[in-house]
Amino acid sequence: MATAPGGYAERAARLPGAVVWAKAPPAGGAGAGLVLPDGCMDLLWSEGRLLVAGPDTRAYAPGGPPAHWAGLRFFPGTAPACLGVPAHEVRDRRVDLADLWPAPAVRRLRARLEAARDPAAVLEEVALERAERAGGPDPLLRHLVAALDAGRPVAATADELGLGARRLHRRSLAAFGYGPKTLARVLRMQRALALARGGVPFAQTAVRAGYADQAHLSRDVRALCGRTPGELLRLGG
């Protein structure tokens, strides 16, 4: 996987539902764009730093000078079992991996990454190794993501899964970093932006994504991202 200057590239990972990605500095040294909430967590490598990006409840604006990045983006709800940290402990945070893993393990991974031609592939290998030891994520949570991403109501989904509201909320906090209602909002926003990027008018996008109307779409996207849908599309988000 290669990126052009200022470019971004990704591919499906061997870890189910995950994505391996790499990003080069933007042309002309411009700052990186917004990172929008998507229900995911990432394992990141950049300029000698190993980080875990927790689940976002609002858009994140990366700071610092332009840099090369490599990452593995986990399917929603699957990172905590692999990384060994409950999602709510890293919500809206970028945390040094050394604060979460034993120092020897981090040193070994850093050495592998510094010697690698494709750091993203190393992150993928490490995630696969840890996922195998962890035994995989809770299958009920994968069903929850699928149901909410299809627009199913939270209460009805909880009933279908045989979980009470409080139990579902506790498990969601550990897996996603927030409750199922927030997860549903984030997934709905991502559905809407995908439709809008594909050229669907905003009024139709709102209905198809599950909003009451276009005004509801605009309010919710602004609440999560600080921008309207139109502004995000112009920014390339």
Mean pLDDT of 92-115: 97
Mean pLDDT of 173-200: 96
Architecture of domain 8-134: Sandwich (2.60)
* pLDDT above 80 (res 183): yes
How does residue 6 score in pLDDT terms, banded at 50, 70 and 90?
Answer: low
The secondary element (H helix, E strand) that includes residue 220 is helix 214-225
Mean pLDDT of 178-195: 96
Predicted confidence at residue 2, as pLDDT, reads 46
Per residue in 26-70, pLDDT tens? 765 555 578 999 999 999 999 999 999 999 999 998 887 888 999
Predicted confidence at residue 140, as pLDDT, reads 87
CATH code: domain 139-235 is 1.10.10.60
Angle between helices 154-161 and 139-149 (to 10 degrees): 150
Sheet of strand 94-96: strand arrangement = 8-12, 19-23, 69-73, 42-46, 49-53, 94-96
Torsion of CA 75, 77, 78, 84, to 10 degrees: 140
* pLDDT above 50 (res 4): no
For the chain, what is the mean pLDDT?
Answer: 91
Quick one: tokens of 88? 């709510």
User: What is the distance of C-alpha 88 from the center of its chain?
Assistant: 14
User: Can you tell me whether residue 45 is helix, strand or coil?
Assistant: strand
Per residue in 130-172, pLDDT tens? 999 988 777 888 899 999 999 999 999 999 888 888 899 999 9
| Dist. CA 9–CA 1, nearest whole Å | 7
Question: Where exactly does CATH 1.10.10.60 map onto the chain?
Answer: 139-235
**Number of Cβ within a 10 Å radius of residue 215:** 12
Does the reported pTM lie above 0.85?
yes
Question: Where exactly does CATH 2.60.120 map onto the chain?
Answer: 8-134
